[in-house]
Structure 1
Amino acid sequence: MKWLQKVENLLWFSVATPKVNKQGERIKVENHEAYYFKEILKGDVELEMVAIPSGTFVMGSPESESEYDDERPQHYVTVPPFFIGKYPVTQAQWKVIASQTELKVNIDLDEDPSNFKGDKHPVEQVSWYEAVEFCQRLSKEASQKVWGDSPKVRGQR
């Protein structure tokens, strides 16, 4: 994953992926490595971002699955590499990004939208559009730190 060589402080973790048969019985376990970095937001709020490599997959249902007519035709989709949060977005993470109005892309964000309060609890009660705005703001915030002028990988195996 050559594109990861630009990321500073890259870390890794192991993940076991089970494969099951039609009865749900485990038939094989494959071990994989995943790479990530820790983004430190304002107020020392931490956000772990996992690298997802590019790839191509088939989207849609085959003709043999007649109950899914609205999921046809099958077609290939290629996804570029990207980073995704390792865990659900916490209320503390949401508050840090939502409060930075200078990062605004399209809409204002409520800094405290959740009903079940707690900095370490997942944020909830947000719309699709608010989630997109959060991601766009986070991308603006993180891109300078992640991609910098001449970063190098410092993660250890």
Structure 2
Amino acid sequence: MPITDRDLCREAIRRTLRQRAGDSPDALAIAKATSEIWLLMSARLTPVIGGNGVDAILKRSVHLTSVVFPWLSIPDAQLDTDSLPVRISVLLAGHEPVAAAQASSSLLITFTELLATLIGNSLTRRLLDPVWIAALGVAEQEKTS
């Protein structure tokens, strides 16, 4: 089976999360890495699709991801867009590292794929590839330091 752009993107997201979380991450490190990645993604996307657009895709991503990871579910009454990334971090930090890593990568992948359905693969890649490439650059600098 040939490797697709979608597969490469998913692997880039997983690799970025692993690199930012460290070699033997606990759930708190995974939550912190997820927050850092989210801030980079949000900063790159907000000028293009607006804060409300980013928030809407994140809410939908949480909803879809919580089907597989029910503990990631956040009641609608608590879906305040300002606190949503913080709530996600708290939920990730409260679970076993393997589950937190799986849920985090699933959430980031779901977000990226939803974004691609709205704005197209090409624009999604142009906007988010630097987030994944930046992680590679950080990892390479850490190896040579």
Whichever structure has more strand as a proportion of its residues is 1
Q: Which protein is bigger by CA-based radius of gyration?
A: 1
**Which structure dedicates a bigger proportion of its chain to helix?**
2
Question: What is the TM-score of this pair, normalised by structure 2?
Answer: 0.29
Structure with greater contact order relative to length (CA < 8 Å, sep ≥ 6): 2
Alignment TM-score, normalising by the size of structure 1: 0.27
